[in-house]
Amino acid sequence: MNPRQSRDGVLEASVCLALKGLLPILSVTDSIEALLGFTADDYLSARVSLKQQIHPHDTDIADRLFSTGDPGASGTFNIRLRHANGRIHCICGQYRKEFGPEGLVLNLLLQDAKTLKRTLSDASTMVNFTAMMENTDDFIYFKD
């Protein structure tokens, strides 16, 4: 097993940041390098900002994550983050806001969407979707 992946093969990293000022990173796992291409030290020393890696069209998600108006909030989200190589990666995340010694903190679990396992129900949905797309005369546009 790759030490940067969980037992089920998902590439993931945990990040904890303070919800104040420039959003300083309080802790980050070393697996962040495999996920986003920057070392944990890059984040801890503020050479790299997680907020600056967020795709411009996902700022609404970032605003909700980094807001201080809902302490105790938790949930899931999907977001696009720029990798160190310049490419955009789709990330599935879980967040939890809580009070700590540093004030309100945001705990994140970031997972590479490509490494998440698909379930059997996902596979049947994909087959149905493929059949629908092959048999429709309508035009569907996907926003990138």
Cα three-residue angle 12-9-46, rounded to 5 degrees: 15
**Rounded CA separation 85/136 (Å):** 37
First-to-last alpha carbon distance for the chain, in angstroms, is 33
pLDDT at 87: 95
Residue ranges in the chain modelled with pLDDT below 50: 1-3, 120
What is the model's pTM?
0.76
**Rounded CA separation 6/48 (Å):** 24
Task: Provide the token pair at 38.
Answer: 């920057």
For every residue of 35-64, DSSP letters joined together read HHSS-HHHHHTTSS-TGGGB-GGGHHHHHH
Under DSSP, the state recorded for 10 is -
pLDDT at 102: 85
CATH architecture under which domain 12-117 falls: 2-Layer Sandwich (3.30)
- Going from N- to C-terminal start, the domains of the chain cover 12-117
**Rounded CA separation 125/30 (Å):** 35
**Rounded CA separation 90/93 (Å):** 10
